[in-house]
Amino acid sequence: MTATRVPGLPVIEDGQLISTNPATGEEAGRVPVADEKAVIAAVERAHEAALWWQGLGWEGRKVRLLRWRSLLVERIQELAELTHREAGKPVTDGIIEITAAVEHLDWAAKNAKRVLGPRRVRTRLLLAEHSGHLEYQPYGVVGVIGPWNYPIVTPIGPISGALAAGNAIVFKPSEYTPVVGQWLADSFAEVVPEHPVLQTVHGLGDVGGALCRAGVNKVSFTGSTATGKKVMAACAENLVPVVIEAGGKDALIVDADADVTAAAEAAVWGSMTNAGQTCIGIERVYAVAPVYDRFVDAVVEKAGRLRTGEEIGPITMPKQLEIIRDHIEDALAKGGRAVLGGAEAVQAPYVAPTVLVDVPEDSSEIREETFGPTLTITKVRDADEAVQKANDTPYGLGGAVFGKRNGIRIARRLRSGMVAVNGTLTFVGMGNLPFGGVGESGFGRIHGEDGLREFARPKAITVRRARSLLPAMTFERTPAQVQQIVKALRLLYGRKP
């Protein structure tokens, strides 16, 4: 007899990973679970496929990646509805997520040759008789470990960059959204049927660990900081390089000359979209005193119009509900006030929008990643205090600033990988900008030129093109020639700038 299933909680039965809707418990689909042997076999197949994929050259890969992009656009409704069934997020949110994924796929395909292709570099004095050349070569096989909260755009970031650079992919989707991950791989196979360039392996955390040890040449991971450290440890056994995009506790600063209505709208979107289950979501706001009251009122008014089950979907991971409740209760116990929602907002599988004020800085609601539709708003005297408080965190993923005169100046002072000025989360939609964090939020980049270079090794080549006038790197050099080198150095570099 089958045990009662917890909605949203993945279970393994008869070698199958079964995924269910977190709101209804309805089965979204099932996929085969991979054991260690199966993971190793997938990586071995990927190494063979990578040679063929690299052999297509820049143009061949570009054509196929753009076909995949177009296929995603053609089936955008189908994929959005599948994401709704499996992760619970509203279909409209799924459509926006796919739109961002299409942007990154399009940009990577069209720009890989320009960013990574062979080029000449300027010659320097010591080897003036040689020409310099630089090119970027693919790693071979990249393992991608994806998250559940954005199961489309987040893995497509590293997948698109790595594929455009010439790598094959073995993709381990989250056990909470394996069906969406399999859909991505299957759709890619429709446009690239010749070889298994993009494969999936499914299962729980042990499958991710096996992937790190299975002979991949690089790993890109998105998930919690704690799991990211485990991935790093597994990869360290074989010196496999990693890209880590981990958690965040992003802050929004509202300066005195901000458009308060626009800032409130952006704060509600940044904190409540995807039910707050966003690594770059706004969890803290620091509003300067002159606009604080108006901003709080505007946020409460806008957030109060949102309805669970409609704009606010279910919490995908059942265990996250307790974390959200604990954070809210801790904030209230330490003197904070709920101006919207509160502890009673947690009604499984949903959490209603919650806005907290007067929350002390040592509260878990301020210090730890909540990952729910909650927002703390703190009054500060000026932007300097706002920056100091915003940076007082081990995380450093994204952030936002609202202000007219000093918005960009404030943004530069935030300790984070990305900042949106007069908007929130907007940087994720620009395919030509790098995405990644600092500190406990990880390191390495996906998206943009930096994201492409993340999945290719730089290779330097020198070519002799003439006889050496000042031979330096040879045992045949004479004392007189060494003196000539010294004279040249003094002539060119001896003067102080």
Q: Convert the pLDDT of each residue in 40-54 to its tens digit.
A: 999 999 999 999 999
| Nearest CA among 1, 177, 161 for reference residue 84 | 177
Which of the 8 DSSP states describes residue 127? G
* Element at 76 (helix H, strand E): helix 76-87
Helix axes 36-55, 205-212, angle to 10 degrees: 50
Contact 398, 266 (CB under 8 A): no
The rounded percent of the chain whose pLDDT value lies above 70 is: 99
Q: Convert the pLDDT of each residue in 71-80 to its tens digit.
A: 999 999 999 9
| Nearest CA among 120, 118, 161 for reference residue 142 | 161
| Strand, helix or coil for residue 183 | helix
- Residues ≥6 apart with Cβ < 8 Å to 30: 16, 17, 18, 19, 179
| Nearest CA among 83, 69, 222, 233 for reference residue 143 | 222
Q: Convert the pLDDT of each residue in 183-219 to its tens digit.
A: 999 999 999 999 999 999 999 999 999 999 999 999 9
Residue where the block lists tokens 């040689």 = 130
- Residues ≥6 apart with Cβ < 8 Å to 476: none
Q: Which residues are annotated as catalytic? A: 245, 279
pTM, whole model, 2 decimals? Answer: 0.96
| Nearest CA among 327, 264, 337, 275 for reference residue 306 | 275
Instruction: Say what the pLDDT of residue 497 is.
Output: 67
* C-alpha torsion 53→56→61→67, nearest 10: -100
- Residues ≥6 apart with Cβ < 8 Å to 478: none
